[in-house]
Amino acid sequence: MSAASQNFGKVAVLMGGQSAEREISFMSGQGVLDALKSQGVDAHAFDPAKRNLSDLQQEGFQRCFIALHGRFGEDGTVQGALELLGIPYTGSGVMASSIAIDKTMTKRVWLSENVPTPRYVLLKQNDMGPEAQARVLQSLGLPLIVKPAREGSSIGVTKVTQASELLKALEDAAQCDADILCEQFIAGDEVTCPILGEGDDAKALPVIRIVAPAGNYDYQNKYFTNDTQYLVPSGLPEAEEKAIQAHAVKAYQVLSCKGWGRVDVMIDAQTRQPYLLEINTSPGMTSHSLVPMSAKAAGMSYEALCIHLLASASLEHSSTWKGGS
């Protein structure tokens, strides 16, 4: 057992949770748990959907590796609870997590900082009628993308190619979220860029180019088939890859993300302009996941990545402050 592993103390790998991505979270969490144990870490599975978070404190856990995805895991809620409990955790803090889970809020920040992102129209669950649809079509044209503002793993996402398909797409997204993001469709290469670190020390890992069957990188092709190709090295021109990495690092920094994250990007086939779609602050760690794949290309094993992330676990606010005048 390494000294570093002993210094971590008792570690909880938070997995499962209450979001639509519960199944994927278990896959991520089990991979992380096995990797940490293989390195001598005293790591244990912990499902917040089945247990009280206060148990973490009562049972003497000293760090948490967050392998939760989506709501109640990636949105600042668990992060806030761990801040109150005084237990350091992996990944971004409360504010960055809560902004990043909301694709519309993310876009607003990015646009204010000149980070390129596709044009969008935000609709509400109770405003999807003919006038709203006309506004979307007029602003964005066809094809366009409809997605819930606060879901991941391509859940509730539809590519709309005809005006007659729009209402069904809106209804599907509205089943997942009250906020519906309608977005300009960018035709071209789909890539993703993982980031490790914090602030000025944040660094981009190698870009991965994703080639999905018929260009359909959906939930099934993300996690349960072997038909999607992941190209790393990406095969992009070096200057193009470096530009994407620079955009991704800036996008990560302006949201005050830390620990790790993954920025999803579309490259316009005609102009080669990259457009940033979203940032994941608790990326997947399954056998199909992209951050471990990129880290491996940079010479970092899955186990080393898990240890690196656990070592970066922190609290945003010191628990030593006790109030008073």
What does the pLDDT look like over 9-36, one tens digit per residue? 999 999 999 988 899 999 999 999 999 9
> Is 223 among the catalytic positions?
yes
Q: 262 catalytic, yes or no? A: yes
Active-site option among 89, 120, 223, 252? 223
Contact call for residues 56 and 80 (beta carbons, < 8 A)? no
User: Sign of dihedral through CA atoms 217, 125, 121, 140?
Assistant: positive
Looking at residue 103, its pLDDT comes to 96
pLDDT (tens digit, 9 = 90+) per residue, 271-319? 999 999 999 999 999 878 999 999 999 999 999 999 999 999 999 986 5
- Number of C-beta neighbours around residue 184 at 10 A: 17
| Known catalytic residue at 165 | no
- Mean pLDDT over 219-233 rounds to 74
3-state secondary structure of 95: helix
* Percent of the chain scoring above 90 in pLDDT: 85
| One-letter amino acid for residue 113 of the chain | E
Q: Catalytic residue, from 22, 71, 209, 262: name it.
A: 262
Tokens encoding 172? 């599907």
Catalytic residue from among 264, 275, 282, 294: 264
Cα gap 137→154, rounded to integer Å: 22
pLDDT at 325: 38
Rounded Cα gap, residues 73 and 81, in angstroms:
11
- Amino acid in the structure at residue 2: S
114 is catalytic: no
Percentage of the chain lying above the pLDDT 70 cut: 91
Whether residue 262 has pLDDT greater than 80: yes
Report CA Rg, the chain: 20
| pLDDT confidence of residue 219 | 57
Per-residue pLDDT for 175 more than 80? yes
Domains and CATH numbers, the chain: 3-90 (3.40.50.20), 99-116+187-310 (3.30.470.20), 120-184 (3.30.1490.20)
**264 given a catalytic annotation:** yes
Set 234, 284, 294, 302: catalytic member = 284
Q: Quick check: is 154 catalytic?
A: no
Cα angle 78, 44, 26; round to 5: 65
pLDDT at 223 over 60: no
